[in-house]
């Protein structure tokens, strides 16, 4: 086999060692390259205006092959300085020819080309590709995160809308809307117990089982079935009041919700003294004119005790006035019989609107529900012999499983109706001074969360767009490195091939 047909395969990582081991290039080329770089910097200070030169020198590190192209261009621009002996008198040409001579001395150009080629293959091109891959991944993550934010945003909006629907408000002016919503409470109470008479059969069964009357075992339930949702006054006194003076509404939103000034946040000690000190002022309490002589005489008269025991004198000294206007002391005299009185304070609330009696009514329903569940369990699981207590009453034993289930369903329906979301929210809103702030703060936090999510999503979209632009900006840089590396590979292979009788040279492990 002919030697010229045997290819020379050189791995990229071993290229520089291969050139040094065959004594083609010296081992240390840095001092020589430093001198060449200095001369190139000086030569670039004086360059003719030429389009090809501008393109050649734009954004590239000048190496030996660039210098050869510059010399070829200068041969056209500096041809006027060429002598009859073929030498150029132009300083530009002399400088660049000197640079080429230094490059070709000891084959420094080949060592530099191999160094640049290995650096591009092992570091520059992979680094750019990794950066591009990283930005592509971040771009996809930003888009994915922006899409994932749609779910919590929808959840917050749905929760916000649901809470507004439960409260029966729009969320524009919460204090006024809360006041209007509280006016619907009586209607909600009436609607929740409209079927309360369906519990009569269950109440009769429970009363007969316990051996009590309906009013004794479950008094509030019995009252509601007979009279409806009356005032607590009527429940306690067994007669309707002449008038009802319900306590003032406790709804009081904080300054962040109602728009009060910070000055309104001062401590109020209960005095109505025009904002002055809480100490009782002399303007409120009038002690009259202080006369020391008169006071001394009054004391002397009080000390002069009459031990004679005269009844007439004592009667004249103490006169009792029974005509005291009791209205001045807040005492209300109820009328006789069915005339009733004035329902004030907690007794002005209806049974379902009173915190105490509403809770007691719920307890009574739960008690009735538990009784029916126990009776239903006994009918399903226990033997007939164990129903001794129920068999003692003939009318109780007539209730079968189906009738008990129907009673239980009626009780559960009433419990569900009085415990609906809207009724619970409005009930707490009416009787709690802090619940209004809690609801307003919760609604505000939901809107803030939605706004924050939208801002974050917009930021992620902008970041994704920036990453896409940065990724696109790396494409021309990568293309430039790839073209430079391929040209260097071709030049190195041709140069080595000339040194070895034009044998084929392959640089392995290069760019894909």
pLDDT of 363: 93
pLDDT at 309: 43
Query: What pLDDT is stored for residue 260 in this prediction?
Result: 40
- Tens-digit pLDDT profile for residues 374-420: 988 888 876 544 444 444 444 455 678 888 899 999 999 999 999 88
pLDDT at 329 over 70: no
**How far is the C-alpha of 12 from the C-alpha of 20, rounded, in Å?**
14
Q: Are 192 and 417 in contact (CB under 8 A)?
A: yes
* Cross-strand bridge partners of residue 506: 9
Can you tell me the distance from the alpha carbon of 378 to that of 460, in angstroms, rounded to the nearest whole number? 63
pLDDT at 495: 92
The pLDDT of residue 290 is above 50: no
Task: Give the model's pLDDT for residue 273.
Answer: 41
Q: How far apart are CA 249 and CA 385, in angstroms?
A: 57
Q: Is the pLDDT of residue 462 over 80?
A: yes
d(CA 150, CA 143): 12
Q: Which of 72-76, 316-320, 353-357 has the highest mean pLDDT?
A: 353-357
Determine the pLDDT at residue 397: 55
Least trusted range by pLDDT, from 70-84, 363-377, 391-405: 391-405
pLDDT band for 478, please (50, 70, 90 cuts): very high
Q: How confident is the model at residue 30 (pLDDT cuts 50, 70, 90)?
A: very high
pLDDT of residue 257: 55
Task: Tell me how far apart the alpha carbons of residues 70 and 128 are, in angstroms, rounded to a whole number.
Answer: 29
Mean pLDDT, the chain, rounded, equals 79
242/339 Cα distance (integer angstroms): 7
More confident residue, 386 or 501: 501
Question: Does pLDDT of 295 surpass 50?
Answer: no
Q: What number is the average pLDDT over the span 20-37?
A: 92
The answer to whether the pTM exceeds 0.75 is no
The pLDDT tens digits for 135-179 are 999 999 999 999 999 999 999 999 999 888 888 888 788 888 888
pLDDT per residue as tens digits for the range 34-43: 999 999 989 8
pLDDT at 293 exceeding the cut of 60:
no
Residue 6 has pLDDT above 80, yes or no: yes
- Residue 133 is encoded by which pair of tokens? 């891959």
Which carries the bigger pLDDT value, residue 489 or residue 324? 489
Task: Please spell the DSSP secondary structure of 179-209, one letter per residue.
Answer: HHHHTTHHHHHHHHTTTGGGGHHHHHHHHHH
In the DSSP assignment, the letter for residue 284 is T
Residue 472 or residue 321, greater confidence: 472
pLDDT at 409: 92
Q: What is the pLDDT of residue 430?
A: 85
pLDDT at 14 over 50: yes
pLDDT at site 437:
85
pLDDT higher at 220 or 2: 220
Selected residue with higher pLDDT from 290 and 67: 67
Q: If 0-12 CB within 10 Å is exposed, 13-18 middle and 19+ buried, where does residue 258 land?
A: middle
Mean pLDDT, range 46-72, rounded to an integer: 81
Q: What is the pLDDT of residue 302?
A: 41
């Amino acid at each position: 086999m002919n030697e010229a047909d045997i290819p020379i395969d050189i791995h990229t990582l071993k290229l520089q060692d291969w050139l040094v081991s065959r004594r083609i290039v010296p081992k240390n080329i840095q001092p020589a390259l430093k001198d060449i770089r200095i001369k190139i910097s000086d030569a670039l200070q004086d360059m003719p205006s030429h389009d090809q030169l501008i393109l050649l020198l734009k954004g590239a590190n000048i190496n030996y092959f660039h210098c050869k192209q510059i010399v070829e261009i200068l041969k056209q621009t500096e041809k006027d300085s060429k002598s009859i002996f073929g030498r150029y008198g132009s300083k530009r040409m002399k400088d660049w020819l000197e640079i080429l001579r230094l490059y070709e001395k000891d084959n420094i150009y080949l060592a530099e080309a191999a160094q640049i080629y290995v650096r591009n293959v092992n570091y520059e091109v992979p680094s750019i590709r990794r950066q591009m891959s990283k930005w592509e991944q971040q771009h996809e993550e930003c888009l994915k995160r922006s899409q994932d934010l749609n779910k919590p945003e929808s959840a917050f909006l749905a929760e916000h809308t649901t809470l507004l629907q439960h409260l029966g408000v729009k969320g524009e002016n919460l204090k006024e809307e809360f006041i209007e919503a509280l006016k619907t409470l009586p209607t909600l109470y009436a609607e929740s117990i409209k079927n309360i008479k369906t519990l009569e059969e269950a109440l009769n069964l429970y009363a007969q089982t316990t051996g009590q009357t309906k009013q004794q075992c479950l008094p509030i339930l019995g009252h509601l079935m007979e009279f409806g949702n009356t005032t607590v006054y009527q429940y306690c006194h067994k007669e309707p009041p002449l008038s009802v003076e319900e306590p003032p509404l406790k709804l009081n939103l904080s300054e962040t919700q109602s728009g009060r000034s910070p000055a309104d946040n001062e401590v109020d000690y209960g005095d109505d003294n025009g904002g002055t000190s809480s100490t009782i002022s002399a303007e409120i309490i009038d002690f009259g004119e202080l006369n020391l002589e008169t006071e001394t005489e009054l004391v002397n008269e009080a000390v002069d005790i009459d031990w004679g025991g005269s009844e007439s004198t004592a009667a004249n000294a103490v006169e009792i006035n029974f005509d005291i206007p009791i209205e001045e002391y807040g005492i209300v005299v109820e009328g006789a019989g069915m005339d009733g009185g004035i329902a004030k304070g907690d007794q002005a609330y209806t049974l379902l609107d009173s915190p105490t009696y509403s809770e007691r009514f719920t307890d009574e329903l739960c008690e009735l529900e538990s009784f029916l569940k126990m009776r239903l369990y006994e009918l399903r699981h226990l033997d007939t012999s164990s129903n001794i207590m129920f068999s003692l009453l003939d009318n109780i034993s007539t209730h079968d499983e189906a009738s008990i289930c129907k009673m239980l369903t009626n009780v559960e329906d009433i419990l569900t109706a009085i415990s609906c979301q809207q009724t619970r929210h409005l009930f707490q809103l009416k009787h709690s001074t802090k619940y209004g702030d809690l609801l307003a703060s919760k609604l505000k936090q939901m809107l803030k969360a939605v706004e924050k999510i939208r801002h974050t999503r917009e930021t992620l979209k902008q970041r994704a767009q920036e990453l896409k632009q940065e990724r696109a900006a790396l494409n021309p840089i990568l293309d430039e490195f790839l073209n430079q590396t391929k040209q260097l590979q071709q030049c190195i292979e041709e140069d080595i091939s000339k040194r070895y009788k034009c044998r084929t040279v392959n640089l392995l492990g290069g760019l894909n």
